[in-house]
C-alpha cells in the first residue's frame, strides 16, 4: 500500500544545493504570490557539494574594484576548456556573480576582507578566500526563508520527471519519494528547475573498502540532474568532458590555497618541473587554433596531462612542496589546515594518522577517478537556451531544432518546455563553482517566473495512468525483495545476499564502476580508451540496464534511494560513453585520451557534441553544434 501525496507548485526546484538555493531566492523575489517548492534528497541545511563547507569562492570578478573584466573571464574559461564553451552562458553568469557574492557577504559568510582595496583577499586571479565551514548552512537559511519552511521537502528524492500527456515536449513536474517513510510525492508544477547535482561514483573510486565514500565529489552526488533529464528526452551536451582533478592523495584534499595563495610548487618525485619536459609534445598535439599551451593560465587539463606523463615515465608521483611554503605555528600553517578543515577534513585525519607535518615534508598529489559535472573545470549537462541579449537569436545553416540553436526565448530553459537547469545540471558553461551555481539558479528561476507569466492560461495536466505506472516502477525493487525473500540464504556481508533473482544497489554500482573504469578512461587504464573499448562498454552497460530493470531489489526505503541513484548513474554513464565515442579526437588529454585519435582536431571537432535519448526505444542520436565565439577568438 503506497501513500501518495500530490503537491501543486508554481515552481518546483529539484535539489536544494547551491544552485537550488539560488533558484529559491530569486523565484520568490520575482513572484510574491508563487508557491515555490524545493525537493531535497537530504537536509537542505547541509546538502549538495558544499555540505561539508568550502574554503574559497572560486568565481568572483571584483568588478566594483576593477580587478577583472567579464570578457577576460570568458577568455579564461574558454581557454581552460580548450576552446569549447557556450560563451553566452558563461558571460551571463559571470556578469551577475559579484552580486551573489555580495549577498553572501551581507548574509554573514565570512569572506576575508582586504582593508587596502575595500574588496576581498584574492586567492588567485578569480578566487577569493572564505571561512566557509557554515557556507551551506547560511545559504540554506536564505533559501528556507525565501520559500517558507513548509515548502522545503527534506529527504525527498526525485526519481522521474513528469511529462504532459498532450505535449511530450512539456515537463509538468516530477515524482519522488520520502527516503525515511516511503511516501510518494507527485509534484505538479508550471515550471521545474533541475539542480540535482553532478555525478560521483560513476567511475571506480581509488579506494574500495571503507574509503569507498571518500570520493572527491560527495557520494550523494548521484548524477541525478543528468539521469532525470536524459530519461525525459532533454538534449544533453558535452557529456564526454567528464574530468579528473589533481588532489592530495587519498583524502582528496584541495590544492587551491596551497598553489594560489601560498604559491606552493608541484614537482615530480625528484623535485623537477613537470611541465617543461612535456611542453613541446603538448604544443605539437594540443595547440589548435587557441594556442592553449601558451595561455597565461595553463588549462587544467594540460597541467594534469603533463603530470601524468611524468608518472608514466617513472618519475612520479607529483609532490606538493609544502615544506617550502608552510611554516609551523604561523599564519601559513593555519591557512594550510583551514583549507582542509573547511572542506576535506579527511585529509587532516590522514595526516594525523601518518604524523605528517606539511612544514617538514612534501605530500603526494594524484588525480582522482573521473567525475561527471557541469560546475567545476568541466561542462557536462543539459543544452540550454541563452539569455536574450547575449545569445545569437538564430543560427543560419542549422536546423531550427532547439538542439542546434542557442536561443528559444527563456534563459536556461532546456530543450523541453517548462524544464530549466542550473548548477551541475546546466551544460557547456563551466567554472561556476559555488557562487556561479547559485547565480545560475537565480538566472533559471527568474526566467522560470517569466515563463509561467507568459503561459498563465496553460492548464497543467497530469495523466493518472502515467503517474501510476511510474509509481509502480518506482516501488518495484521493494516488492521484488519481498518476493522470494526466504528462498536464498547467505551469510551477512559487506555486499548483499547472493541471490539469482536480485541485484542489490551495491552489486550494480560495482558493476557500473568496473565497466566505466576499465573501458571508458578510468584511473586503472591511466585514463586511456579507444573505439573498441567504448563499444564494449556500451555492450556491457546494456546488460546492466536490462539487469536493473529486471532484477533491482531494495530491502528498505534507504536502499530504494540507493537503487534509483544507481539508475541515474547508469543513464549518465551511457551518455558519457556515447559522447566519448562520438568525439573522434582528444580534446582534454588530462581528462581522457582517445588512443586512436590522440591529438586535438580543431578542423573537425571545434564543436559541441549534443545528444538526445529516447526512453521508449532506448535509441540515442548525437550530432555536432558549432561553437559561436561571441568574444573574438584567435
Partner 1 sequence: MPSYVIPAKCTGCGDCVNICPSHIMRFTKSGLFGRKAYNAEPEMCWECYNCVKHCPQGAVQIRGYQDFTPMGGAVEVYRDEKTNRVYWTIRYRNGTIKYFVFPIRTTPWGSIKPPTEYPEPPKELLRTPYLSCEHEQLGGNKLGVELPRYKVPEVVKVEVRG
CA–CA gap between residue 159 and residue 170 (Å, rounded): 17
Query: What part of residues 540-559 is at the interface with partner 1 (CB under 8 A)?
Result: 558
The answer to whether 197 touches 540, Cβ cutoff 8 Å, is no
DSSP 289: T
Q: Does 109 bind partner 1 (CB under 8 A)?
A: yes
- Rounded alpha-carbon distances, angstroms, from residue 501 to 474, 484, 551, 569: 18, 9, 6, 22
Q: 95 or 278: whose CB is closer to partner 1?
A: 95
Is 454 or 468 the residue whose CB approaches partner 1 more closely? 454
Q: How far is the CB of 463 from partner 1 (least distance, A)?
A: 31
- With CB under 8 A as the contact rule, the residue among 12, 18, 42, 421 that binds partner 1 is 42
Among 12, 13, 37, 70, binds partner 1 (CB under 8 A): 70
- Out of 115, 150, 209, 492, the only residue in the binding site for partner 1 (CB under 8 A) is 209
Which CB, 484 or 626, lies closer to partner 1? Answer: 626
Question: Taking CB under 8 A as the rule, does residue 397 contact partner 1?
Answer: yes
Applying CB under 8 A, which of residues 15, 16, 21, 47 lies at the interface with partner 1? 47
- Taking CB under 8 A as the rule, which mask of x and - marks residues 471-510 in contact with partner 1? -----------------------x----------------
Check 78, 95, 144, 247 and give the catalytic one.
247
Judge whether 570 and 515 are in contact, CB under 8 Å: no
Strands (E), 179-294: 184-194, 236-237, 246-248, 266-267
H-run or E-run covering 440: helix 433-454
Asked whether position 289 contacts partner 1 by CB under 8 A, the answer is no
CB 179 within 8 A of CB 466: no
CB of 462 to partner 1, least distance (A): 27
Per the listing, cell 588549462 goes with: 299
Identify the active-site residue in 338, 339, 499, 517: 339
Indicate if the alpha-carbon torsion angle 570, 90, 447, 622 is positive or negative: negative
Distance CA 334, CA 9 (A): 46
| Cβ proximity of 571 and 230 under 8 Å | yes
Pick the stretch among 105-113, 162-170, 414-422, 566-574 that binds partner 1 (CB under 8 A).
105-113
229 binds partner 1 (CB under 8 A): no
> Bridge-partner residues for 623, per DSSP?
610
CA 616 – CA 269 distance, rounded (Å): 53
Residues 407-446 that bind partner 1 (CB under 8 A): 439, 442-443, 446
487 φ, ψ (degrees, to nearest 5):
-85, -20
Catalytic residue (choose from 216, 557, 588, 605): 216
Other C-beta atoms closer than 10 Å to the C-beta of 388 total 15
The reply on whether position 359 binds partner 1 by CB under 8 A is no
Region at 390 (left for phi over 0; alpha for psi -120 to 50; beta for the rest): alpha
Task: Show the cell assigned to 595.
Answer: 588512443
The span from the CA of 627 to the CA of 299, in Å, is 18
Q: Is 376 a catalytic residue?
A: yes
Question: C-alpha grid cell for residue 479?
Answer: 516488492
Could you tell me the smallest distance in angstroms from the CB atom of residue 148 to partner 1? 9
Binds partner 1 (CB under 8 A): choice among 77, 320, 341, 566: 341
Site string for partner 1, 6-35 (x = CB under 8 A): -------------------xx-xxx-x---
Catalytic annotation, pick one of 55, 224, 318, 434: 434
**372, three cell numbers:** 561527471
Give the chain's length: 634
Binder of partner 1 out of 2, 4, 5, 108 (CB under 8 A): 108
Beta carbon nearer to partner 1, 139 or 172: 139
Q: Pick from 67, 240, 342, 424 the residue near partner 1 by CB under 8 A.
A: 342
126 is catalytic: no
Of 376, 412, 569, 606, which is the active-site residue? 376
Indicate the residue among 69 and 272 with the shorter CB distance to partner 1. Answer: 69
Instruction: Give the angle 522-523-529 at the CA atoms, nearest 5°.
Output: 45
> Site for partner 1 (CB under 8 A): which residue of 219, 484, 618, 634?
219
Smallest gap from Cβ 466 to partner 1, in A, equals: 28
456 is catalytic: no
Q: Name, in order, each residue with C-beta under 8 angstroms of 574's C-beta and a sequence gap of 6 or more.
A: 538, 541, 545, 613, 620
Q: Which of 58, 221, 435, 610 is catalytic?
A: 58
Instruction: In whole angstroms, give the CA distance from residue 442 to residue 473.
Output: 33
Please say if 47 is a catalytic residue. Answer: no
Taking CB under 8 A as the criterion, the residue among 43, 330, 490, 524 binding partner 1 is 43
**Residue selected from 60, 126, 220, 481 as contacting partner 1 according to rule CB under 8 A:** 220
Smallest gap from residue 454 Cβ to partner 1 (A): 10
Question: In this chain, which of 8, 72, 110, 536 binds partner 1, going by CB under 8 A?
Answer: 110
How many residues form the binding site for partner 1 (CB under 8 A)?
104
247 a catalytic residue: yes
Listed ranges 129-137, 169-177, 265-273, 291-299: which one lies at the site for partner 1 (CB under 8 A): 129-137
- What whole-number distance in Å separates Cα of residue 239 and Cα of residue 579? 6
For the bound state, the minimum distance from the C-beta of residue 453 to partner 1, rounded and expressed in Å, comes to 7
* Residue 43 Cβ vs partner 1, minimum distance, rounded to whole Å: 5
Select 148 or 484, whichever has its Cβ closest to partner 1: 148
Contacts 24+ apart (CB under 8 A), 309-316: 309/274, 309/277, 309/278, 309/281, 310/268, 310/274, 310/277, 310/278, 312/526, 315/268, 315/269, 315/270, 315/272, 316/268, 316/269
Binding residues for partner 1 restricted to 292-331, rule: CB under 8 A: none
The residue within the footprint of partner 1, chosen from 150, 210, 400, 457 (CB under 8 A), is: 210
| Residue 447 bears catalytic tag | no
* All residues at 6 or more sequence positions from 221 whose CB lies less than 8 Å from its CB, including other chains: 48, 49, 197, 198, 199, 200, 424
Using the rule CB under 8 A, is 560 a contact of partner 1?
no
User: Nearest approach, Cβ of 422 to partner 1 (angstroms)?
Assistant: 13
Closest CA to 89 of 630, 450, 612, 632: 630
- Considering only 271-279, 373-381, 525-533, 598-606, which stretch makes contact with partner 1 by CB under 8 A? 598-606
Q: Which residues are catalytic?
A: 58, 123, 216, 247, 339, 376, 434
Amino acid at each position: 500500500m503506497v501513500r501518495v501525496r500530490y503537491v501543486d507548485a508554481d515552481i518546483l526546484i529539484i535539489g536544494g544545493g547551491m544552485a537550488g538555493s539560488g533558484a529559491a531566492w530569486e523565484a520568490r523575489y520575482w513572484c510574491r504570490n508563487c508557491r515555490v517548492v524545493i525537493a531535497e534528497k537530504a537536509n537542505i541545511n547541509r546538502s549538495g557539494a558544499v555540505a561539508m563547507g568550502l574554503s574559497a569562492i572560486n568565481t568572483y570578478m571584483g568588478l566594483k574594484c576593477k580587478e577583472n573584466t567579464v570578457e577576460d573571464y570568458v577568455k579564461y574559461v574558454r581557454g581552460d576548456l580548450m576552446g569549447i564553451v557556450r560563451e553566452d552562458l558563461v558571460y551571463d553568469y559571470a556578469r551577475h556573480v559579484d552580486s551573489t557574492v555580495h549577498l553572501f557577504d551581507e548574509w554573514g559568510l565570512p569572506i576575508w576582507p582586504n582593508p587596502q582595496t575595500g574588496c576581498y583577499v584574492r586567492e588567485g586571479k578569480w578566487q577569493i578566500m572564505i571561512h566557509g565551514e557554515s557556507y551551506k548552512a547560511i545559504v540554506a537559511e536564505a533559501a528556507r526563508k525565501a520559500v517558507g519552511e513548509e515548502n522545503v521537502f527534506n529527504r525527498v528524492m526525485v526519481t522521474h520527471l513528469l511529462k504532459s500527456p498532450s505535449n511530450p515536449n512539456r515537463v509538468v513536474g516530477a515524482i519522488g519519494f520520502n527516503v525515511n517513510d516511503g511516501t510518494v510525492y507527485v509534484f505538479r508544477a508550471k515550471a521545474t528547475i533541475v539542480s540535482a547535482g553532478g555525478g560521483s561514483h560513476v567511475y571506480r573510486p581509488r579506494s574500495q573498502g571503507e574509503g569507498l565514500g571518500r570520493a572527491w565529489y560527495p557520494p550523494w552526488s548521484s548524477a541525478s540532474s543528468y539521469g532525470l533529464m536524459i530519461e525525459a528526452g532533454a538534449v544533453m551536451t558535452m557529456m564526454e568532458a567528464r574530468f579528473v582533478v589533481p588532489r592530495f592523495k587519498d583524502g582528496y584534499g584541495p590544492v587551491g590555497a596551497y598553489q594560489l595563495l601560498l604559491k606552493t610548487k608541484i614537482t615530480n618525485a625528484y623535485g623537477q618541473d613537470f611541465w617543461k619536459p612535456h611542453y613541446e609534445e603538448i604544443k605539437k598535439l594540443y595547440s589548435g587554433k587557441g594556442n592553449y599551451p601558451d595561455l597565461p593560465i595553463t588549462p587544467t587539463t594540460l597541467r594534469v596531462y603533463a603530470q601524468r606523463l611524468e608518472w608514466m615515465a617513472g618519475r612520479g608521483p607529483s609532490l606538493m612542496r609544502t615544506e617550502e611554503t608552510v611554516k609551523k605555528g604561523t599564519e601559513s600553517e593555519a591557512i594550510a589546515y583551514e583549507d582542509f578543515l573547511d572542506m576535506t577534513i579527511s585529509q587532516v585525519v590522514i595526516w594525523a594518522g601518518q604524523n605528517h607535518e606539511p612544514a617538514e615534508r612534501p605530500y603526494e598529489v594524484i588525480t582522482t577517478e573521473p567525475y561527471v559535472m557541469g560546475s567545476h573545470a568541466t561542462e557536462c549537462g543539459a543544452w540550454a537556451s541563452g539569455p536574450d541579449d547575449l545569445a545569437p537569436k538564430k543560427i543560419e545553416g542549422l536546423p531550427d531544432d532547439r538542439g542546434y540553436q542557442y536561443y528559444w526565448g527563456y534563459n536556461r530553459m532546456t530543450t523541453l518546455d517548462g524544464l530549466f537547469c542550473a548548477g551541475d545540471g546546466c551544460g557547456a558553461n563551466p567554472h561556476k563553482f559555488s557562487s556561479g551555481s547559485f547565480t545560475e539558479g537565480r538566472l533559471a528561476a527568474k526566467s522560470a517566473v517569466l515563463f509561467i507569466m507568459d503561459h498563465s492560461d496553460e492548464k497543467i495536466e497530469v495523466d493518472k495512468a502515467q503517474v501510476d505506472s511510474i509509481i509502480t516502477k518506482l516501488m518495484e525493487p521493494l516488492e521484488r525483495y519481498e518476493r522470494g525473500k526466504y528462498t536464498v540464504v547467505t551469510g551477512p556481508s559487506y555486499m548483499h545476499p547472493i541471490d539469482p533473482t536480485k541485484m542489490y544497489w551495491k552489486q550494480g554500482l560495482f558493476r557500473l564502476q568496473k565497466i566505466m573504469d576499465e573501458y571508458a578512461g578510468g584511473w586503472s587504464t591511466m585514463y586511456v580508451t579507444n573505439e573498441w573499448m567504448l563499444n564494449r562498454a556500451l555492450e556491457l552497460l546494456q546488460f546492466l540496464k536490462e539487469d536493473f530493470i529486471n532484477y533491482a531489489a531494495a530491502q528498505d526505503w534507504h536502499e530504494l534511494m540507493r537503487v534509483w541513484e544507481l539508475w541515474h548513474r547508469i543513464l549518465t554513464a551511457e551518455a558519457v560513453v556515447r559522447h566519448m565515442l562520438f568525439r573522434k579526437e582528444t580534446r582534454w588529454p588530462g581528462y581522457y585520451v582517445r588512443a586512436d585519435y590522440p591529438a586535438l582536431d580543431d578542423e573537425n571537432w571545434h564543436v559541441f557534441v549534443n545528444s538526445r535519448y529516447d526512453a521508449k526505444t532506448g535509441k540515442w542520436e548525437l550530432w555536432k553544434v558549432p561553437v559561436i565565439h561571441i568574444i573574438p577568438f584567435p
